[in-house]
Amino acid sequence: MNQEAFQICSKELKRLRSIQPSSVEHSVIKNYLEIMLELPWSKSTITLTNQALLAKGFLQKARVQLDLDHFGMLKVKQRLIEFLAVIKLRADLETRAANQQFVASNTDPSTTSSSPSSSSTQPQPSNEFQISRLWKDTLDPTFLVPPDRPNAPADNTHRLPGPTLKGKDGKKPAPILLLVGPPGVGKTSIARSIAKALNKQFYRISLGGVKDESEIRGHRRTYIGSMPGTIVQALRRVGVNDPVILLDEIDKVGSRSINGDPASALLEVLDPEQNSTFVDHYINTPIDLSSVLFLATANSTSTISPPLLDRLETIQVDGYSLDEKINIARRNLIPKQIKNYSLQPHQFILDDEQVLKKIILSYTSESGVRNLEREIGSLCRAKVLEFIQDRDQSDVLDKTKSEQDHLDQFQAKIHMDDVRRILGPEHYEAEISDVELKPGVAIGMAYQGSGNGSILYIEATSYPGKGGLKLTGSLGEVIKESAELAISWIKSNSNLMNLNLTKIDTLDLHIHFPSGSIKKDGPSAGVGLVLALVSLFSNLAIDNNLAVTGEISLRGQILPVGGIREKVLAASRSGIKQILIPAKNAKDIESDENLKNLKDLVEVQYVNSLHEVIKLVFKDKLWTRTANLQQNQEQFNQLAQNSDSNL
């Protein structure tokens, strides 16, 4: 331990000797000293970690580990490999500097040797080291480092070039990664994979619902039953000062209250400039956290305080597509559940892709795979029951049959009928866009809070009234404002679209979003609202194979929205053939391999303005209903073609 901690412990030890064992204070001091002695002040896994980092093929092994633990996630894995590459480079620099210093301290300056290719001289190391070769470019010697050195590379050789550039105090803290994504997509297991690749101890701290600052900083010893905070407790339990600590559900940390602000306490923990002298209220002395590799997870960044978010580097972990879930089930979930329920691979066979699709689409509704794993577990338990009952009944009827005979006769393969019989009625109805739409109905795309995407029907109708607007479907303020924007834009462009709105002040409009029990909000329904209202006013139905998304402005500009990946995948599952999305979201499509593979199934078109959307959806139907409207049509088409320059 450091000098300050040693002095405090010595002082407390003297007090302990002068207090009667029966005193309450005696047990308090004794408990404090035990905790102080259990803390890993200088114990670390640096030797194991450096061996892993300096070993040949470290990054390749790390990539293989990530591929084994997680399917897909190409962008996330690439970012994690870059993260590990930085750590490897820093470890190499630190090892090189340590060896340089050690070689220099064991060098006889009176002895030099000249290189045949240069007149420069190099110091000759003592007999403990042996030069294996000189590098031609800089004549840097490569020494054979003794294997018992703490920082010795795996092959015991190390190139010693010129001076090593070092940061402040020689420390180069790694960035703190924040994995953001919906539940069940593997954020925690990614953190475990990083710890495994680095040969470091792993500890998870759940921050969900933490509302007391003392949970982070610890309780002062003046309180009865006081203990250190979760950070110090983590170090105490793992027994080393350089573990990987995962701050799970950091977005659910409580806000400021009478018990303090835990989010503010985390600022010191995660700040590289401050955490080397982190003070827990219980131990009341600085403890160095600079060697700890912190990772964090969250479902959303919206509830994380800006100062805390500023200290984190965000990596977005998206939900899984249907194909990814099928592969994950085959590679990971099914073998895991077979092992959990003591089955053999030939006793439970679930390899039919259509059966897996049925389970995923009709019995789960999630972006991750947790519920899918539960449903597979239900099928496994049912098969275990069937096997035991069949075997017991067979033992009564025919005791000559062996265990293998029962296995051979047992129906291990899961069929579609087994799914319905075991899992019961379908929990979720698949969204299929095979119904012909009536005028006033459009199909939008939504991103749900669970991380899923879905198609969303937008219905509009009118009836005699006084020009009022009624919105239903558990809608938020933003989506209500989008409806008002849509009506205003349609009114200002009605003549160009050949819409007769002279009697609109004598009508009330009612816009409804089905699934009223689900709350809906956001600006992405703007384009769908315009199409539904234009369809209503023109009495023209929209193609049921078309879905749209995008925020609108009062000028008719289409602005980018979020959740494009989930929306496009949901539309594809629902049988949609054509999708219109904002042109500024094109990067979201082009950078995603899963979406690129859908090009044969779904036609994606990028639009900049509502003029383009109206022309693509209704084509010439708006202007062929009445004669002598060629001028309006030409003017509208011109606006659609020049939307980029006009906006």
Distance, in Å, from the CA atom of 88 to the CA atom of 55, rounded to the nearest integer, reads 10
Note the maximum CA span of the chain. Answer: 107
The backbone torsions φ and ψ at residue 118, rounded to the nearest 5 degrees and listed phi first, read: -155, 155
Q: What number of residues does the chain have?
A: 647
What pLDDT shows up at residue 114? 41
Distance, in Å, from the CA atom of 395 to the CA atom of 174, rounded to the nearest integer, reads 63
Q: Is the pLDDT of residue 120 over 60?
A: no
Distances (CA, A) of 612 to 531, 582, 643: 12, 11, 8
pLDDT tens track for 243-253? 999 999 998 88
Q: Is the pLDDT of residue 107 over 60?
A: no
Q: Give the pairing of strands 121-125 and 107-114.
A: antiparallel
**Three-state SS at 308:** helix
Q: Is the pLDDT of residue 575 over 70?
A: yes
Q: What is the dihedral of CA 218, 220, 221, 223, to 10 degrees?
A: -100
Question: Of all residues in the chain, what percent carry a pLDDT higher than 70?
Answer: 78
CB 177 within 8 A of CB 83: yes
What pLDDT shows up at residue 486? 94
Q: Is the pLDDT of residue 46 over 80?
A: no
Q: Is the pLDDT of residue 351 over 90?
A: no
Which neighbouring-strand residues pair with 177? Answer: 295, 313
Distance, in Å, from the CA atom of 204 to the CA atom of 245, rounded to the nearest integer, reads 6
Q: What average pLDDT is seen over the chain?
A: 80
Q: Which residues contact 552 (CB under 8 A, 6 or more apart)?
A: 482, 485, 486, 489, 523, 526, 527, 529, 530, 558, 559, 610
Q: In which band, very low, low, confident or very high, does the pLDDT at 611 lie, cut at 50, 70 and 90?
A: very high
Which neighbouring-strand residues pair with 603? Answer: 578
Q: What is the mean pLDDT of residues 253-260?
A: 72
Higher pLDDT, 559 or 497: 559
Q: What is the mean pLDDT of residues 77-83?
A: 87
One-letter amino acid at 296 equals A
What pLDDT shows up at residue 547? 94
The distance from CA 135 to its chain's CA centroid, rounded to whole angstroms, is: 44
Distances (CA, A) of 158 to 47, 92, 135, 155, 548: 16, 10, 12, 8, 59
What pLDDT shows up at residue 537? 92
Q: What is the mean pLDDT of residues 399-419?
A: 69
Q: In which band, very low, low, confident or very high, does the pLDDT at 595 lie, cut at 50, 70 and 90?
A: confident
Q: In which band, very low, low, confident or very high, does the pLDDT at 138 lie, cut at 50, 70 and 90?
A: very low
What pLDDT shows up at residue 388? 82
CB 283 within 8 A of CB 164: no
Q: What is the mean pLDDT of residues 427-434?
A: 70
Closest CA to 295 of 417, 205, 429: 205
CB 543 within 8 A of CB 613: no
Distance, in Å, from the CA atom of 218 to the CA atom of 220, rounded to the nearest integer, reads 7
What pLDDT shows up at residue 283? 86
What pLDDT shows up at residue 394? 64
Q: Which two tokens stand for residue 598?
A: 């859908």
* Sole residue written with tokens 């019961």: 424
Q: In which band, very low, low, confident or very high, does the pLDDT at 626 lie, cut at 50, 70 and 90?
A: low
Rounded to a whole number of angstroms, the CA Rg of the chain reads: 33
Highest mean pLDDT among 156-160, 190-194, 485-489, 497-501: 485-489
Q: In which band, very low, low, confident or very high, does the pLDDT at 17 lie, cut at 50, 70 and 90?
A: confident
Q: Is the pLDDT of residue 129 over 50?
A: no
Q: What is the mean pLDDT of residues 4-31?
A: 84
- Angle at CA of residue 347, ends 341 and 350, nearest 5°: 90
What pLDDT shows up at residue 629? 55
* Sole residue written with tokens 């599952």: 573
Q: What is the mean pLDDT of residues 145-174?
A: 50
What pLDDT shows up at residue 478? 94
Question: Of all residues in the chain, what percent carry a pLDDT higher than 90?
Answer: 23
Q: What is the mean pLDDT of residues 453-478?
A: 91
Q: What is the mean pLDDT of residues 61-90?
A: 84
What pLDDT shows up at residue 565? 86
Count of other CB atoms within 10 angstroms of residue 621: 12
Q: Is the pLDDT of residue 198 over 70?
A: yes
- Enzyme catalytic residues: 524, 567
Q: DSSP string covering 401-453, please?
A: --HHHHHHHS--B--HHHHHHHH-S-SS------SPPPTTEEEEEEE-TTS-E
What pLDDT shows up at residue 550? 95
User: Which of 73-82, 257-266, 342-351 bottoms out in mean pLDDT, i.e. has the lowest?
Assistant: 257-266
What pLDDT shows up at residue 169? 44
Residue 383: DSSP 8-state: H
Count CA atoms closer than 13 A to 187's CA, side-chain side: 28
User: Which of 227-241, 264-278, 393-407 bottoms out in mean pLDDT, i.e. has the lowest?
Assistant: 393-407
Q: Which two tokens stand for residue 390?
A: 């069949």
Q: In which band, very low, low, confident or very high, does the pLDDT at 20 lie, cut at 50, 70 and 90?
A: confident
Highest mean pLDDT among 184-188, 555-559, 586-590: 555-559
Q: Is the pLDDT of residue 73 over 70?
A: yes
Q: Is the pLDDT of residue 108 over 90?
A: no
CB 252 within 8 A of CB 209: yes
Distance, in Å, from the CA atom of 161 to the CA atom of 139, rounded to the nearest integer, reads 8
Q: DSSP string covering 105-121, please?
A: HTEEEEEEEE-TT-S-E
Residue 631: DSSP 8-state: H
The backbone torsions φ and ψ at residue 107, rounded to the nearest 5 degrees and listed phi first, read: -105, 140
Closest CA to 320 of 549, 515, 74, 581: 74
Q: Which residues contact 263 (CB under 8 A, 6 or more apart)?
A: 253, 254, 255, 256, 304, 305, 308
CB 458 within 8 A of CB 525: yes
Q: Which residues contact 53 (CB under 8 A, 6 or more apart)?
A: 87, 88, 91, 92, 198
Q: Give the pairing of strands 507-512 and 469-472.
A: parallel
What pLDDT shows up at residue 117? 41
> What is the pTM assigned to this prediction?
0.75
Q: Is the pLDDT of residue 443 over 90?
A: yes
Q: Is the pLDDT of residue 647 over 60?
A: no
Q: What is the mean pLDDT of residues 521-548?
A: 93
Q: DSSP string covering 6-24, please?
A: HHHHHHHHHHHHTS-TTSH
